[in-house]
Amino acid sequence: MFKGRDIISIKDLSLDDINVILDYARRMVPAARGEENLPLLSGRLMGRLFFEPSTRTKLSFDTAMKRLGGGAIGFSDTSSTSVKKGETLADTIRMAEAYSDCLVIRHYNEGAARLAARFSSKPVINAGDGAGQHPTQTLLDLFTIREEKGRIDGNHVVLAGDLKYGRTVHSLAHGLALYDVEVSLVSPRGLEMPGEIVGTLKEKGIGVREMNSLEEAVADADVLYVTRIQAERFPDPEEYRKVAGSYRVDLNLLDHARDGMIIMHPLPRVDEIAPEVDTHPSAKYFVQAFNGVPVRMALLDLVIRGGDLDG
Amino acid sequence: MVKELRVTPIRNGTVIDHIPPGMGLKILSILMHDDPAGRTMTLAMNVSSARQGKKDVLKVEDLELTPEQVGKIALLAPEGTINIIRDSNVVKKEKVVLPDRVVGIVRCGNPNCITNQREPVEPEFVVVSRSPPRLRCLYCERELEDIIGNIL
Ligand SMILES: Nc1ncnc2c1ncn2[C@@H]1O[C@H](COP(=O)(O)OP(=O)(O)OP(=O)(O)O)[C@@H](O)[C@H]1O
Ligand SMILES: [Mg+2]
Ligand SMILES: [Zn+2]
């Protein structure tokens, strides 16, 4: 049962939970595209509390709510709110939950969404808490793999780029750990996946390989998940340029890739995927961004109404 | 027995036994910190022990520990024993147990954690393992690296 449930961390969700969400998200696709009228949340309000700006996630949640006939209230940065005056998050939540049917929160402190859930009787969805969790991103990533490859099980997923600081790949690794997949990790020295997460993958019986080059990794990959390598991580700009160059996905690299491999990226991308790749059939990062809408529609309806299409 | 002579016997109070060497001082300072009454406390350090090699033993007169204090002791001395002394006899002996959740006795080591902002919640941890104790913050999900340094 999803009605009233908080979605705070991917680790709170079981394999069954995730599959229910992904199945329901598939049902939402026509309405997400505007091809079907599906006013399941007509008259309902989403309280969208963004203490930190995020264009993409905000747009995607607002669209999801509106595609289901509901509305959104809230703020998208704190400059005009009483948070500025020193109001606690707990108080802001107690006020906002009275106005809305569910809360979607993005905050700069880790654990903020979990705290919000404690003070709210309405369901809370975490839209990113500092360097912490961003479960709806992981769900849309899993949804994209499933829709594009037919299933999640059986795929060889390459996670590439900054695997140390990228919260997206950490959560995705936890999500993938529930499935029967193979994972390869490709990252510059010093930006490797934390040992704890590699350990979790191995404990779940997942084959994990650490590789040095993208070329080697894509040769038998089904999914190439690319993340941004930030210049700030490197003390030496020259070193950064070298590393960034060797992690660039371009048509040349795709010559080495297995047929049917898909390329994903949480966006925004900078230089890590060459624009020439955008029109290649492997490029799925814009589809992936769109998938945020049906996945968030599914979640909103599941937590607000319980997700019963007939009722 | 010789070991009984190392510290003055007490009539009523609590003996915390099987403390890892060095941790006795930390426990002593915690108990002194929340004891405005200024009870008599005696600490024996590096006592030879058949079970442990060396151990610390702490005796507190006229005091029975609160659950919160036992929780802190469990973090510092996961193998500790708490003996209640009445009329000079051990009337009750309990191994310390770390509960499944540790609430309000250690702070999160992550400065960016919501529990370290001015919010009306107590820091709360899930106990990942008991001995040695490993704690994961319920809020930010990070494991606490320095438990002892973060005891409140
Ligand atoms: N009246 C007392 N005053 C001070 N300390 C005492 C008193 N009675 C017992 N103790 C101390 O309390 C601890 C527990 O006493 P006990 O006689 O149960 O020892 P034990 O059989 O070695 O126990 P354990 O099996 O827990 O090691 C010992 O460290 C002992 O020195
Ligand atoms: Mg003994
Ligand atoms: Zn924390």
Region A48-75: what's the mean pLDDT? 95
CATH code of residue A106: 3.40.50.1370
Is A4 inside any structural domain?
A: no
Based on the fold, state whether residues A246 and A150 are members of the same structural domain.
Answer: yes
How many angstroms separate the CA of residue B141 from the nearest CA in chain A? Answer: 7
Is A207 inside any structural domain?
A: yes
Region A194-216: what's the mean pLDDT? 94
On average, the pLDDT of chain A sits at 94
Based on the fold, state whether residues A140 and A283 are members of the same structural domain.
Answer: yes
Which residue is it, tokens 């004891």?
Answer: B35
Whether the CB of B128 is below 8 Å from some CB of chain A: the reply is no
For residue A80, what pLDDT is reported?
A: 63
Based on the fold, state whether residues A209 and A299 are members of the same structural domain.
Answer: no
- Predicted confidence (pLDDT) per residue in B98-134, tens digit: 889 999 889 999 999 999 999 999 999 999 998 889 9
Is A127 inside any structural domain?
A: yes
Confirm whether A170 is a catalytic residue: no
Pairing of strands B53-61, B41-49: antiparallel
Based on the fold, state whether residues A53 and A148 are members of the same structural domain.
Answer: no
Structure tokens at B39: 């009870």
ipTM of the complex: 0.91
Is A311 inside any structural domain?
A: no
Residue A203 backbone zone (phi > 0: left; psi -120 to 50: alpha; other: beta): alpha
Q: What total of structural domains would you count in chain A?
A: 2
Based on the fold, state whether residues A141 and A284 are members of the same structural domain.
Answer: yes
For residue A245, what pLDDT is reported?
A: 83
- Residue A110 bridge partners (DSSP): B113
A180 versus A80: which is more confidently predicted?
A: A180
- A111 with B113: Cβ contact below 8 A: yes
Cα of B119 to ligand 3 centre, how many Å?
12
Based on the fold, state whether residues A170 and A299 are members of the same structural domain.
Answer: no
| Mutation site, B118, B136, B140, interface A, largest A CB count within 10 A | B140
Closest CA to B139 of B122, B115, B118: B115
Based on the fold, state whether residues A63 and A80 are members of the same structural domain.
Answer: yes
- Predicted confidence (pLDDT) per residue in B39-91, tens digit: 889 999 999 988 768 999 999 998 888 888 888 899 999 999 999 999 999 99
- Rg value, chain B, Cα: 16
Based on the fold, state whether residues A112 and A163 are members of the same structural domain.
Answer: no
pLDDT higher than threshold 80 for residue A81: no
Q: Rounded to the nearest 5°, which phi and psi values hold at A56?
A: -60, -50
Based on the fold, state whether residues A122 and A176 are members of the same structural domain.
Answer: no
Residue A309 banded pLDDT, cuts 50, 70, 90: confident
**Which among B120, B121, B140 has the least Cβ separation from residue A110?**
B140
Which of A44, A48, A106, A284 is flagged as catalytic? A106
Based on the fold, state whether residues A191 and A123 are members of the same structural domain.
Answer: no
Is A3 inside any structural domain?
A: no
Burial per residue of B122-134, b for 16 or more beta-carbon CB atoms within 10 angstroms, e otherwise: ebbbebeebeebe
Based on the fold, state whether residues A147 and A282 are members of the same structural domain.
Answer: yes
For residue B32, what pLDDT is reported?
A: 85
Q: What is the DSSP letter of A75?
A: E
Residue A214 banded pLDDT, cuts 50, 70, 90: very high
Is A1 inside any structural domain?
A: no
Contact (CB, 8 A) for B80 and B16: yes
Is A59 inside any structural domain?
A: yes
Whether the CB of A194 is below 8 Å from some CB of chain B: the reply is no
Residue B2 banded pLDDT, cuts 50, 70, 90: very low
- Predicted confidence (pLDDT) per residue in A88-133, tens digit: 999 999 999 999 999 999 999 999 999 999 999 999 999 999 999 9
Based on the fold, state whether residues A165 and A126 are members of the same structural domain.
Answer: no
Is A113 inside any structural domain?
A: yes
Region A185-210: what's the mean pLDDT? 94
Structure tokens at B125: 């941890």
Confirm whether A156 is a catalytic residue: no
User: Which residue range is the domain that position A86 belongs to?
Assistant: 10-134+290-304
